[in-house]
Structure 1
Amino acid sequence: MKTSAIFKYKKVLSLEIFPPKRTAPIDTIYHTLDELKGLNPEFISVTYGAGGSENNDATLEIASAIKNHYGIESVAHLPCINLTKSEVLFMLEGLKKAGIENILALRGDVSSEFPPKQDFRYASDLISFIKQNGDFNIIGACYPEGHSECPSLIDDIRNLKTKVDAGTDQLITQLFFDNSYFYAFRERASIAGINVPIQAGIMPVVNKKQIERMVSLCGVKLPKKFITMMEKYENNPVAMRDAGIAYAVDQIVDLIAQDVDGIHLYTMNNPYIAQRIYAAISTLLAA
Protein backbone atom coordinates (compact mmCIF):
# COMPACT_ATOMS: atom_id res chain seq x y z
CA MET A 1 0.00 0.00 0.00
CA LYS A 2 1.18 3.50 -0.77
CA THR A 3 1.41 5.28 2.55
CA SER A 4 0.26 8.66 1.20
CA ALA A 5 -3.23 7.19 0.82
CA ILE A 6 -3.54 6.62 4.60
CA PHE A 7 -3.69 10.35 5.35
CA LYS A 8 -7.08 10.56 3.64
CA TYR A 9 -8.82 8.88 6.55
CA LYS A 10 -6.69 9.19 9.71
CA LYS A 11 -3.80 10.86 11.48
CA VAL A 12 -0.72 8.81 10.73
CA LEU A 13 1.71 7.46 13.30
CA SER A 14 4.92 6.07 11.85
CA LEU A 15 8.26 5.00 13.27
CA GLU A 16 11.87 5.11 12.12
CA ILE A 17 14.47 2.45 12.87
CA PHE A 18 18.02 1.88 11.68
CA PRO A 19 19.89 -1.33 10.85
CA PRO A 20 22.26 -2.63 13.52
CA LYS A 21 25.95 -1.87 13.21
CA ARG A 22 27.83 -4.18 10.89
CA THR A 23 29.54 -5.78 13.87
CA ALA A 24 26.17 -6.70 15.42
CA PRO A 25 23.89 -9.55 14.28
CA ILE A 26 21.02 -8.33 12.13
CA ASP A 27 18.66 -10.41 14.30
CA THR A 28 18.92 -7.77 17.01
CA ILE A 29 16.62 -5.49 15.02
CA TYR A 30 13.90 -8.14 14.94
CA HIS A 31 13.72 -8.12 18.73
CA THR A 32 13.10 -4.37 18.46
CA LEU A 33 10.41 -4.90 15.82
CA ASP A 34 8.71 -7.56 17.96
CA GLU A 35 8.17 -4.87 20.59
CA LEU A 36 7.32 -2.02 18.22
CA LYS A 37 4.60 -3.88 16.31
CA GLY A 38 2.21 -3.47 19.26
CA LEU A 39 2.18 0.28 18.63
CA ASN A 40 0.22 -0.38 15.41
CA PRO A 41 2.16 2.13 13.30
CA GLU A 42 0.89 2.91 9.82
CA PHE A 43 4.42 2.36 8.55
CA ILE A 44 8.00 1.88 9.69
CA SER A 45 10.90 3.43 7.80
CA VAL A 46 14.40 1.94 7.68
CA THR A 47 17.45 4.15 7.33
CA TYR A 48 20.35 3.59 4.95
CA GLY A 49 23.97 4.10 5.95
CA ALA A 50 26.46 6.39 4.28
CA GLY A 51 28.83 5.17 1.61
CA GLY A 52 26.81 3.71 -1.24
CA SER A 53 25.27 0.48 -2.44
CA GLU A 54 27.12 -1.80 -0.03
CA ASN A 55 24.69 -0.61 2.66
CA ASN A 56 21.49 -1.58 0.87
CA ASP A 57 21.40 -5.25 1.88
CA ALA A 58 20.45 -4.62 5.53
CA THR A 59 17.98 -1.86 4.65
CA LEU A 60 16.25 -4.04 2.06
CA GLU A 61 16.21 -7.13 4.28
CA ILE A 62 14.69 -5.28 7.24
CA ALA A 63 12.18 -3.34 5.12
CA SER A 64 11.11 -6.61 3.50
CA ALA A 65 10.63 -8.26 6.90
CA ILE A 66 8.51 -5.34 8.13
CA LYS A 67 6.26 -5.66 5.11
CA ASN A 68 6.12 -9.40 4.61
CA HIS A 69 6.63 -10.86 8.10
CA TYR A 70 5.17 -8.22 10.41
CA GLY A 71 2.43 -7.08 8.01
CA ILE A 72 3.26 -3.39 8.44
CA GLU A 73 3.87 -1.05 5.52
CA SER A 74 7.56 -0.32 5.19
CA VAL A 75 9.55 2.58 3.78
CA ALA A 76 13.13 2.20 2.58
CA HIS A 77 15.40 5.23 2.85
CA LEU A 78 17.41 5.92 -0.29
CA PRO A 79 20.09 8.66 -0.09
CA CYS A 80 21.47 9.31 -3.57
CA ILE A 81 24.62 11.38 -3.18
CA ASN A 82 26.86 8.29 -3.06
CA LEU A 83 24.90 6.23 -5.58
CA THR A 84 25.02 5.86 -9.34
CA LYS A 85 21.92 5.46 -11.49
CA SER A 86 22.68 1.77 -11.97
CA GLU A 87 22.93 1.28 -8.20
CA VAL A 88 19.59 3.01 -7.68
CA LEU A 89 18.00 0.84 -10.39
CA PHE A 90 19.34 -2.26 -8.62
CA MET A 91 17.80 -1.07 -5.35
CA LEU A 92 14.46 -0.30 -7.02
CA GLU A 93 14.36 -3.79 -8.49
CA GLY A 94 14.97 -5.30 -5.05
CA LEU A 95 12.16 -3.21 -3.55
CA LYS A 96 9.76 -4.27 -6.30
CA LYS A 97 10.53 -7.94 -5.71
CA ALA A 98 9.92 -7.48 -1.98
CA GLY A 99 6.57 -5.77 -2.60
CA ILE A 100 7.75 -2.49 -1.07
CA GLU A 101 5.99 0.51 -2.58
CA ASN A 102 7.38 3.37 -0.48
CA ILE A 103 10.72 5.16 -0.63
CA LEU A 104 12.08 8.05 1.45
CA ALA A 105 14.18 9.78 -1.20
CA LEU A 106 17.06 11.84 0.19
CA ARG A 107 20.15 13.58 -1.05
CA GLY A 108 22.14 12.30 1.90
CA ASP A 109 24.83 13.97 3.96
CA VAL A 110 28.06 15.10 2.34
CA SER A 111 30.98 13.25 3.90
CA SER A 112 34.73 13.65 3.42
CA GLU A 113 35.01 9.91 3.91
CA PHE A 114 32.79 9.15 0.90
CA PRO A 115 33.27 11.56 -2.02
CA PRO A 116 29.91 12.20 -3.74
CA LYS A 117 29.16 10.59 -7.06
CA GLN A 118 27.86 12.72 -9.90
CA ASP A 119 24.62 11.08 -11.05
CA PHE A 120 22.36 12.84 -8.54
CA ARG A 121 23.07 16.27 -7.14
CA TYR A 122 19.77 16.87 -5.31
CA ALA A 123 16.95 14.77 -3.89
CA SER A 124 14.68 16.19 -6.62
CA ASP A 125 16.95 14.54 -9.22
CA LEU A 126 16.52 11.18 -7.49
CA ILE A 127 12.76 11.66 -7.19
CA SER A 128 12.40 12.34 -10.91
CA PHE A 129 14.53 9.29 -11.68
CA ILE A 130 12.45 7.02 -9.44
CA LYS A 131 9.22 8.28 -11.01
CA GLN A 132 10.61 7.40 -14.43
CA ASN A 133 11.57 3.89 -13.35
CA GLY A 134 8.80 2.57 -11.13
CA ASP A 135 5.43 3.11 -9.53
CA PHE A 136 6.58 4.06 -6.05
CA ASN A 137 5.14 6.33 -3.40
CA ILE A 138 7.85 8.88 -2.70
CA ILE A 139 8.40 10.58 0.64
CA GLY A 140 10.59 13.65 0.90
CA ALA A 141 12.38 15.32 3.79
CA CYS A 142 11.65 18.89 4.83
CA TYR A 143 13.12 21.30 7.34
CA PRO A 144 10.94 23.50 9.61
CA GLU A 145 13.94 25.67 10.50
CA GLY A 146 15.32 25.60 6.95
CA HIS A 147 18.02 23.32 5.56
CA SER A 148 21.39 24.06 7.12
CA GLU A 149 22.97 24.62 3.68
CA CYS A 150 20.20 26.89 2.38
CA PRO A 151 20.82 30.67 2.50
CA SER A 152 17.23 31.63 3.44
CA LEU A 153 13.83 30.23 4.37
CA ILE A 154 12.45 31.53 1.07
CA ASP A 155 15.07 29.61 -0.90
CA ASP A 156 14.41 26.56 1.24
CA ILE A 157 10.68 26.53 0.47
CA ARG A 158 11.38 27.09 -3.23
CA ASN A 159 13.67 24.06 -3.20
CA LEU A 160 10.98 22.06 -1.44
CA LYS A 161 8.42 23.07 -4.07
CA THR A 162 10.83 21.79 -6.73
CA LYS A 163 11.09 18.52 -4.85
CA VAL A 164 7.31 18.16 -4.56
CA ASP A 165 6.76 19.08 -8.21
CA ALA A 166 9.29 16.36 -9.15
CA GLY A 167 6.92 13.77 -7.70
CA THR A 168 7.03 13.79 -3.90
CA ASP A 169 3.79 12.34 -2.48
CA GLN A 170 4.26 13.21 1.20
CA LEU A 171 6.78 14.88 3.51
CA ILE A 172 8.43 14.14 6.84
CA THR A 173 10.16 16.90 8.77
CA GLN A 174 13.55 16.89 10.33
CA LEU A 175 13.37 16.82 14.13
CA PHE A 176 12.57 20.07 15.92
CA PHE A 177 11.99 21.06 19.55
CA ASP A 178 9.94 24.22 19.17
CA ASN A 179 6.55 23.66 17.54
CA SER A 180 6.33 27.29 16.43
CA TYR A 181 8.92 26.53 13.75
CA PHE A 182 6.70 23.75 12.42
CA TYR A 183 3.58 25.94 12.29
CA ALA A 184 5.44 28.74 10.48
CA PHE A 185 6.91 26.21 8.05
CA ARG A 186 3.50 24.67 7.38
CA GLU A 187 2.13 28.12 6.54
CA ARG A 188 5.02 28.85 4.17
CA ALA A 189 4.44 25.52 2.45
CA SER A 190 0.75 26.23 2.02
CA ILE A 191 1.43 29.68 0.54
CA ALA A 192 3.89 28.08 -1.90
CA GLY A 193 1.22 25.64 -3.10
CA ILE A 194 2.70 22.59 -1.40
CA ASN A 195 -0.36 20.52 -0.54
CA VAL A 196 0.96 17.02 0.16
CA PRO A 197 0.66 15.56 3.70
CA ILE A 198 3.34 16.77 6.13
CA GLN A 199 4.29 14.63 9.12
CA ALA A 200 6.09 16.13 12.08
CA GLY A 201 9.30 14.29 12.90
CA ILE A 202 9.73 13.98 16.67
CA MET A 203 12.81 12.68 18.45
CA PRO A 204 12.65 12.09 22.21
CA VAL A 205 16.00 13.14 23.64
CA VAL A 206 17.08 11.04 26.58
CA ASN A 207 20.68 12.12 27.19
CA LYS A 208 22.83 15.22 26.77
CA LYS A 209 25.29 13.56 24.38
CA GLN A 210 22.46 12.70 22.03
CA ILE A 211 21.16 16.25 21.80
CA GLU A 212 24.65 17.71 21.35
CA ARG A 213 25.14 15.37 18.40
CA MET A 214 21.77 16.32 16.91
CA VAL A 215 22.48 20.04 17.21
CA SER A 216 25.87 19.54 15.58
CA LEU A 217 24.47 17.49 12.68
CA CYS A 218 21.18 19.26 12.04
CA GLY A 219 21.62 22.75 13.42
CA VAL A 220 18.27 22.65 15.23
CA LYS A 221 17.55 25.37 17.80
CA LEU A 222 16.84 24.51 21.41
CA PRO A 223 14.14 26.46 23.26
CA LYS A 224 14.90 27.80 26.70
CA LYS A 225 12.64 25.32 28.49
CA PHE A 226 14.40 22.44 26.75
CA ILE A 227 17.83 23.71 27.78
CA THR A 228 16.60 24.17 31.35
CA MET A 229 15.32 20.59 31.40
CA MET A 230 18.59 19.23 30.05
CA GLU A 231 20.69 21.15 32.57
CA LYS A 232 18.44 20.08 35.42
CA TYR A 233 18.58 16.35 34.71
CA GLU A 234 21.76 15.75 32.70
CA ASN A 235 23.45 13.93 35.60
CA ASN A 236 20.44 11.74 36.39
CA PRO A 237 19.97 9.31 33.48
CA VAL A 238 16.55 8.00 34.54
CA ALA A 239 15.17 11.47 35.21
CA MET A 240 16.64 12.74 31.93
CA ARG A 241 15.01 9.88 30.04
CA ASP A 242 11.62 10.51 31.63
CA ALA A 243 11.90 14.27 31.08
CA GLY A 244 12.78 13.69 27.41
CA ILE A 245 9.77 11.44 26.98
CA ALA A 246 7.52 14.01 28.68
CA TYR A 247 8.86 16.78 26.44
CA ALA A 248 8.18 14.73 23.30
CA VAL A 249 4.66 13.90 24.49
CA ASP A 250 3.98 17.58 25.17
CA GLN A 251 5.11 18.44 21.64
CA ILE A 252 2.92 15.74 20.10
CA VAL A 253 -0.18 16.69 22.11
CA ASP A 254 0.15 20.27 20.89
CA LEU A 255 0.74 19.17 17.28
CA ILE A 256 -2.32 16.92 17.28
CA ALA A 257 -4.43 19.73 18.73
CA GLN A 258 -3.20 21.90 15.84
CA ASP A 259 -4.35 19.24 13.34
CA VAL A 260 -0.99 17.90 12.22
CA ASP A 261 -1.25 15.34 9.41
CA GLY A 262 0.78 12.80 11.34
CA ILE A 263 3.66 12.04 13.67
CA HIS A 264 6.87 10.30 12.61
CA LEU A 265 8.71 9.09 15.71
CA TYR A 266 12.47 8.70 15.53
CA THR A 267 12.71 5.68 17.85
CA MET A 268 16.51 5.34 17.95
CA ASN A 269 15.73 1.60 18.13
CA ASN A 270 14.48 2.04 21.70
CA PRO A 271 11.10 0.28 22.08
CA TYR A 272 10.64 1.32 25.72
CA ILE A 273 10.67 5.02 24.88
CA ALA A 274 8.40 4.55 21.87
CA GLN A 275 5.96 2.52 23.95
CA ARG A 276 5.82 5.17 26.67
CA ILE A 277 5.05 7.88 24.12
CA TYR A 278 2.46 5.76 22.34
CA ALA A 279 0.67 5.03 25.63
CA ALA A 280 0.33 8.78 26.20
CA ILE A 281 -0.91 9.77 22.73
CA SER A 282 -2.76 6.78 21.25
CA THR A 283 -6.26 7.97 22.21
CA LEU A 284 -5.51 11.44 20.82
CA LEU A 285 -4.51 10.00 17.45
CA ALA A 286 -7.80 8.10 17.29
CA ALA A 287 -9.98 11.05 18.33
Structure 2
Amino acid sequence: MTQQDPKPLAPDFSVSFEFFPPKNEAMERTLWRSIERLAPLQPKFVSVTYGAGGSTRERTHNVVARIVRETPLRPAAHLTCVGASCDEVDEVVRLYHEAGVRHIVALRGDPAEGVGACYAPHAQGYQTTADLVAGIKRVGDFEVSVSAYPEKHPESPDVDADLDVLEAKVDAGADRAITQFFFSNEHFYRYRDRVAARGIDVDLVPGILPISNFAQVKKFAGMCGASVPDFLGERFEGLDEDPETRQLVAAGVVAEQILDLAANGVKEFHFYTLNKAELSYAACHMLGLRPHFATDAAA
Protein backbone atom coordinates (compact mmCIF):
# COMPACT_ATOMS: atom_id res chain seq x y z
CA MET A 1 0.00 0.00 0.00
CA THR A 2 1.37 3.40 -0.95
CA GLN A 3 0.64 6.58 0.94
CA GLN A 4 -1.42 9.06 -1.04
CA ASP A 5 -0.11 12.57 -1.54
CA PRO A 6 -2.01 15.05 0.64
CA LYS A 7 -4.15 17.64 -1.05
CA PRO A 8 -2.22 20.87 -1.69
CA LEU A 9 -2.85 23.60 0.83
CA ALA A 10 -4.84 26.63 -0.26
CA PRO A 11 -2.73 29.72 -1.02
CA ASP A 12 -4.94 32.12 0.93
CA PHE A 13 -3.98 31.34 4.54
CA SER A 14 -3.04 34.26 6.75
CA VAL A 15 -1.32 34.29 10.13
CA SER A 16 -0.56 36.69 12.95
CA PHE A 17 1.82 36.46 15.87
CA GLU A 18 1.62 37.62 19.48
CA PHE A 19 4.64 38.79 21.47
CA PHE A 20 5.07 40.21 24.97
CA PRO A 21 7.29 43.15 26.01
CA PRO A 22 10.69 42.04 27.35
CA LYS A 23 11.75 42.61 30.95
CA ASN A 24 15.51 42.83 30.37
CA GLU A 25 18.16 43.11 27.65
CA ALA A 26 18.53 39.35 27.14
CA MET A 27 14.78 38.94 26.68
CA GLU A 28 14.77 41.91 24.31
CA ARG A 29 17.39 40.24 22.11
CA THR A 30 15.31 37.04 22.07
CA LEU A 31 12.19 39.01 21.13
CA TRP A 32 13.80 40.79 18.19
CA ARG A 33 15.44 37.61 16.92
CA SER A 34 11.97 36.05 16.89
CA ILE A 35 10.43 39.05 15.14
CA GLU A 36 13.19 38.97 12.50
CA ARG A 37 12.67 35.23 12.00
CA LEU A 38 8.89 35.47 11.57
CA ALA A 39 8.66 38.76 9.65
CA PRO A 40 9.49 37.21 6.24
CA LEU A 41 6.31 35.10 6.52
CA GLN A 42 4.43 38.38 6.00
CA PRO A 43 1.95 38.06 8.88
CA LYS A 44 -1.31 39.96 8.68
CA PHE A 45 -0.27 41.70 11.90
CA VAL A 46 1.77 41.18 15.04
CA SER A 47 0.38 42.00 18.48
CA VAL A 48 2.15 43.05 21.67
CA THR A 49 0.56 42.21 25.01
CA TYR A 50 -0.28 44.41 27.98
CA GLY A 51 0.49 43.33 31.54
CA ALA A 52 -2.06 42.80 34.31
CA GLY A 53 -3.37 46.12 35.58
CA GLY A 54 -1.67 47.95 32.71
CA SER A 55 1.72 47.14 34.27
CA THR A 56 3.65 47.05 30.97
CA ARG A 57 2.03 50.08 29.32
CA GLU A 58 5.30 51.90 28.57
CA ARG A 59 7.19 48.77 27.48
CA THR A 60 4.31 47.72 25.24
CA HIS A 61 4.27 51.16 23.60
CA ASN A 62 8.04 51.09 23.09
CA VAL A 63 7.97 47.69 21.37
CA VAL A 64 5.04 48.67 19.16
CA ALA A 65 6.66 51.99 18.22
CA ARG A 66 9.92 50.23 17.31
CA ILE A 67 8.05 47.74 15.12
CA VAL A 68 6.50 50.69 13.28
CA ARG A 69 9.88 52.44 12.87
CA GLU A 70 12.12 49.52 11.99
CA THR A 71 10.03 46.85 10.28
CA PRO A 72 7.40 46.55 7.53
CA LEU A 73 5.08 44.73 9.95
CA ARG A 74 1.65 45.99 11.00
CA PRO A 75 1.61 46.06 14.82
CA ALA A 76 -1.49 45.69 16.97
CA ALA A 77 -1.19 47.03 20.50
CA HIS A 78 -3.02 45.30 23.34
CA LEU A 79 -5.01 47.69 25.51
CA THR A 80 -7.05 47.08 28.66
CA CYS A 81 -9.43 49.19 30.71
CA VAL A 82 -8.14 48.06 34.12
CA GLY A 83 -6.90 50.65 36.61
CA ALA A 84 -7.31 53.70 34.36
CA SER A 85 -9.93 56.35 33.66
CA CYS A 86 -11.51 56.77 30.24
CA ASP A 87 -9.43 59.91 29.70
CA GLU A 88 -6.21 58.05 30.50
CA VAL A 89 -7.08 55.18 28.17
CA ASP A 90 -8.10 57.59 25.40
CA GLU A 91 -4.73 59.34 25.73
CA VAL A 92 -2.93 56.02 25.25
CA VAL A 93 -5.03 55.39 22.13
CA ARG A 94 -4.12 58.84 20.76
CA LEU A 95 -0.42 58.18 21.40
CA TYR A 96 -0.67 54.95 19.44
CA HIS A 97 -2.33 56.80 16.59
CA GLU A 98 0.48 59.37 16.59
CA ALA A 99 3.01 56.52 16.49
CA GLY A 100 1.39 55.13 13.34
CA VAL A 101 -0.54 52.28 14.95
CA ARG A 102 -3.98 51.57 13.46
CA HIS A 103 -4.88 48.26 15.11
CA ILE A 104 -5.68 47.66 18.78
CA VAL A 105 -6.49 44.41 20.60
CA ALA A 106 -9.10 45.53 23.14
CA LEU A 107 -9.34 43.47 26.32
CA ARG A 108 -10.95 43.90 29.70
CA GLY A 109 -7.68 42.88 31.32
CA ASP A 110 -6.78 41.34 34.66
CA PRO A 111 -6.34 43.26 37.92
CA ALA A 112 -2.80 44.20 38.91
CA GLU A 113 -2.90 41.28 41.36
CA GLY A 114 -3.14 38.96 38.35
CA VAL A 115 -5.45 36.23 37.12
CA GLY A 116 -7.83 35.01 39.82
CA ALA A 117 -8.10 38.34 41.61
CA CYS A 118 -11.52 39.96 41.74
CA TYR A 119 -12.07 42.33 38.84
CA ALA A 120 -13.52 45.75 39.60
CA PRO A 121 -13.82 48.45 36.92
CA HIS A 122 -12.26 51.86 37.52
CA ALA A 123 -14.87 54.32 38.79
CA GLN A 124 -14.14 56.72 35.92
CA GLY A 125 -13.05 54.04 33.47
CA TYR A 126 -14.57 51.93 30.76
CA GLN A 127 -16.77 49.39 32.52
CA THR A 128 -16.65 46.60 29.91
CA THR A 129 -14.63 45.60 26.88
CA ALA A 130 -17.57 46.62 24.68
CA ASP A 131 -17.35 50.12 26.17
CA LEU A 132 -13.60 50.13 25.48
CA VAL A 133 -14.14 49.08 21.85
CA ALA A 134 -16.65 51.89 21.33
CA GLY A 135 -14.24 54.36 22.97
CA ILE A 136 -11.35 53.33 20.69
CA LYS A 137 -13.54 53.75 17.64
CA ARG A 138 -14.50 57.26 18.80
CA VAL A 139 -10.87 58.31 19.19
CA GLY A 140 -9.70 57.22 15.75
CA ASP A 141 -10.10 54.99 12.74
CA PHE A 142 -8.73 51.82 14.30
CA GLU A 143 -9.12 48.17 13.45
CA VAL A 144 -10.12 46.49 16.71
CA SER A 145 -9.68 42.85 17.66
CA VAL A 146 -11.22 41.31 20.79
CA SER A 147 -11.02 38.01 22.64
CA ALA A 148 -13.30 34.97 22.42
CA TYR A 149 -13.45 31.82 24.54
CA PRO A 150 -14.24 28.42 22.98
CA GLU A 151 -14.53 26.91 26.48
CA LYS A 152 -16.11 30.13 27.87
CA HIS A 153 -14.40 32.72 30.02
CA PRO A 154 -13.79 31.40 33.57
CA GLU A 155 -15.95 34.18 35.01
CA SER A 156 -18.93 33.62 32.68
CA PRO A 157 -21.78 31.75 34.39
CA ASP A 158 -22.60 29.81 31.24
CA VAL A 159 -22.00 29.65 27.48
CA ASP A 160 -24.97 31.85 26.59
CA ALA A 161 -23.78 34.62 28.90
CA ASP A 162 -20.33 34.34 27.38
CA LEU A 163 -21.78 34.72 23.88
CA ASP A 164 -23.73 37.77 25.08
CA VAL A 165 -20.40 39.39 25.95
CA LEU A 166 -18.93 38.58 22.53
CA GLU A 167 -22.03 39.91 20.80
CA ALA A 168 -21.80 43.20 22.75
CA LYS A 169 -18.16 43.62 21.69
CA VAL A 170 -19.04 43.00 18.05
CA ASP A 171 -22.01 45.37 18.21
CA ALA A 172 -19.65 48.03 19.61
CA GLY A 173 -17.49 47.75 16.50
CA ALA A 174 -15.03 44.86 16.93
CA ASP A 175 -13.66 43.68 13.59
CA ARG A 176 -12.18 40.35 14.66
CA ALA A 177 -12.37 37.92 17.58
CA ILE A 178 -9.23 35.95 18.47
CA THR A 179 -9.86 32.90 20.62
CA GLN A 180 -8.17 31.80 23.78
CA PHE A 181 -5.85 28.89 23.01
CA PHE A 182 -7.33 25.40 22.98
CA PHE A 183 -5.93 21.93 22.35
CA SER A 184 -9.01 20.03 21.23
CA ASN A 185 -10.26 21.40 17.93
CA GLU A 186 -13.75 20.18 18.74
CA HIS A 187 -14.01 23.05 21.20
CA PHE A 188 -13.36 25.53 18.39
CA TYR A 189 -15.76 23.88 15.93
CA ARG A 190 -18.54 23.78 18.51
CA TYR A 191 -17.92 27.41 19.43
CA ARG A 192 -17.84 28.49 15.78
CA ASP A 193 -21.23 26.85 15.27
CA ARG A 194 -22.67 28.58 18.34
CA VAL A 195 -21.39 31.98 17.21
CA ALA A 196 -22.95 31.46 13.78
CA ALA A 197 -26.23 30.24 15.29
CA ARG A 198 -26.43 33.44 17.36
CA GLY A 199 -25.97 35.49 14.19
CA ILE A 200 -22.78 37.13 15.50
CA ASP A 201 -21.05 38.43 12.36
CA VAL A 202 -17.33 38.55 13.10
CA ASP A 203 -14.14 36.98 11.81
CA LEU A 204 -13.34 34.23 14.32
CA VAL A 205 -9.64 33.44 14.47
CA PRO A 206 -8.31 30.45 16.43
CA GLY A 207 -5.52 31.23 18.87
CA ILE A 208 -2.76 28.60 18.70
CA LEU A 209 -0.27 28.01 21.51
CA PRO A 210 2.67 25.81 20.46
CA ILE A 211 3.80 23.76 23.47
CA SER A 212 7.47 24.43 24.13
CA ASN A 213 7.13 23.63 27.84
CA PHE A 214 4.26 21.31 28.77
CA ALA A 215 4.31 22.04 32.52
CA GLN A 216 4.19 25.78 31.85
CA VAL A 217 1.37 25.44 29.33
CA LYS A 218 -0.65 23.27 31.71
CA LYS A 219 -0.28 26.01 34.33
CA PHE A 220 -1.42 28.66 31.83
CA ALA A 221 -4.41 26.54 30.89
CA GLY A 222 -5.46 26.11 34.51
CA MET A 223 -5.37 29.87 35.02
CA CYS A 224 -7.56 30.68 32.03
CA GLY A 225 -9.99 27.76 32.03
CA ALA A 226 -8.65 25.91 28.99
CA SER A 227 -8.70 22.12 29.16
CA VAL A 228 -5.64 19.98 28.42
CA PRO A 229 -6.43 16.56 26.91
CA ASP A 230 -4.86 13.54 28.58
CA PHE A 231 -3.17 12.51 25.35
CA LEU A 232 -0.98 15.61 25.45
CA GLY A 233 0.37 14.67 28.86
CA GLU A 234 1.15 11.21 27.51
CA ARG A 235 3.00 12.63 24.50
CA PHE A 236 5.22 14.88 26.61
CA GLU A 237 5.70 12.40 29.45
CA GLY A 238 9.35 11.84 30.33
CA LEU A 239 10.67 14.68 28.17
CA ASP A 240 11.33 17.32 30.84
CA GLU A 241 15.08 16.77 30.55
CA ASP A 242 15.09 16.00 26.82
CA PRO A 243 14.58 19.35 25.04
CA GLU A 244 15.48 18.05 21.57
CA THR A 245 12.85 15.31 21.57
CA ARG A 246 10.36 17.62 23.29
CA GLN A 247 10.78 20.15 20.47
CA LEU A 248 10.14 17.47 17.85
CA VAL A 249 7.02 16.24 19.66
CA ALA A 250 5.79 19.82 20.05
CA ALA A 251 6.22 20.46 16.33
CA GLY A 252 4.20 17.36 15.56
CA VAL A 253 1.42 18.38 17.97
CA VAL A 254 0.99 21.89 16.57
CA ALA A 255 1.20 20.65 12.96
CA GLU A 256 -1.53 18.09 13.64
CA GLN A 257 -3.76 20.77 15.17
CA ILE A 258 -3.42 23.41 12.47
CA LEU A 259 -3.73 20.99 9.57
CA ASP A 260 -6.99 19.66 11.00
CA LEU A 261 -8.27 23.23 11.40
CA ALA A 262 -7.23 24.03 7.84
CA ALA A 263 -9.06 20.95 6.57
CA ASN A 264 -12.17 22.22 8.34
CA GLY A 265 -12.30 25.63 6.73
CA VAL A 266 -10.02 27.77 8.90
CA LYS A 267 -8.06 30.29 6.84
CA GLU A 268 -6.55 32.55 9.51
CA PHE A 269 -4.43 31.60 12.54
CA HIS A 270 -3.09 33.62 15.46
CA PHE A 271 0.01 32.19 17.18
CA TYR A 272 0.86 32.87 20.83
CA THR A 273 4.63 32.72 20.32
CA LEU A 274 5.81 33.37 23.90
CA ASN A 275 8.56 35.31 22.05
CA LYS A 276 9.94 32.09 20.54
CA ALA A 277 9.87 31.70 16.78
CA GLU A 278 10.74 28.09 15.98
CA LEU A 279 7.46 26.22 16.52
CA SER A 280 5.28 28.97 15.05
CA TYR A 281 7.58 29.15 12.03
CA ALA A 282 7.37 25.37 11.56
CA ALA A 283 3.58 25.46 11.82
CA CYS A 284 3.40 28.15 9.15
CA HIS A 285 5.65 26.07 6.93
CA MET A 286 3.21 23.19 7.28
CA LEU A 287 0.43 25.52 6.09
CA GLY A 288 2.44 26.18 2.95
CA LEU A 289 3.61 29.66 3.93
CA ARG A 290 7.10 30.52 2.75
CA PRO A 291 9.36 33.47 3.58
CA HIS A 292 9.45 36.54 1.37
CA PHE A 293 12.56 38.66 1.72
CA ALA A 294 12.92 42.26 0.66
CA THR A 295 15.19 42.55 -2.37
CA ASP A 296 17.36 45.40 -3.50
CA ALA A 297 15.51 47.21 -6.30
CA ALA A 298 18.82 47.87 -8.05
CA ALA A 299 19.79 44.20 -8.13
For the criterion TM > 0.5, the same-fold answer is yes
Q: Name the structure 2 match of 1:257.
A: 263
TM alignment of 1:83-102, pairs within 5 A: 83-102=84-103
In the TM superposition, what is the alpha-carbon distance from 1:75 to its structure 2 partner? 0.4
Q: Distance in 2 between matches of 1:275 and 1:204?
A: 10
Change (3 A) 1:23 1:85: farther
1:21 equivalenced with 2:13 (yes/no): no
Q: Distance in 2 between matches of 1:10 and 1:82?
A: 40
In the TM superposition, what is the alpha-carbon distance from 1:95 to its structure 2 partner? 1.1
Match of 1:46 among 48, 68, 75: 48
TM alignment of 1:215-234, pairs within 5 A: 215-234=221-240
In the TM superposition, what is the alpha-carbon distance from 1:30 to its structure 2 partner? 2.4
Change (3 A) 1:87 1:22: farther
* Residue aligned with 1:233, SS: coil
Q: Name the structure 2 match of 1:6.
A: none
Cα RMSD of the aligned pairs, angstroms, is 2.2
Q: Which amino acid aligns with 2:86?
A: K
Q: Distance in 2 between matches of 1:69 and 1:112?
A: 34
Q: Structure 2: which 5+ runs fail to align?
A: 1-10, 291-299
1:190 equivalenced with 2:209 (yes/no): no
* Residue aligned with 2:146, SS: strand
Q: Distance in 1 between matches of 2:257 and 2:177?
A: 19
* Pairs aligned (count): 275
Q: Deviations over 1:112-147 (max 9, x none)?
A: 379852312321111111122211111010000111
Using the TM superposition, name which of 64-73 and 24-33 deviates more. Answer: 24-33
8 Å contact from structure 1 (residues 215, 221) kept in 2:
yes
Q: Distance in 1 between matches of 2:210 and 2:248?
A: 10
Change (3 A) 1:278 1:11: closer
* Residue aligned with 2:287, SS: helix
Q: Structure 1: which 5+ runs fail to align?
A: 1-8
8 Å contact from structure 2 (residues 21, 56) kept in 1:
no
Q: Identity over aligned residues, as a percent?
A: 33
Q: Name the structure 1 match of 2:110.
A: 109
In the TM superposition, what is the alpha-carbon distance from 1:192 to its structure 2 partner? 1.0
TM alignment of 1:59-98, pairs within 5 A: 59-98=60-99
Task: Give the greater-gyration-radius structure (CA).
Answer: 2
Q: Distance in 2 between matches of 1:132 and 1:249?
A: 40
TM-score (structure 1 length as normaliser): 0.88
8 Å contact from structure 1 (residues 105, 127) kept in 2:
yes
Q: Name the structure 2 match of 1:4.
A: none
Q: Deviations over 1:84-106 (max 9, x none)?
A: 21221221111111111100000
Match of 1:124 among 101, 123, 130: 130
1:245 equivalenced with 2:247 (yes/no): no
In the TM superposition, what is the alpha-carbon distance from 1:111 to its structure 2 partner? 4.2
Q: Greater helix share, 1 or 2?
A: 1
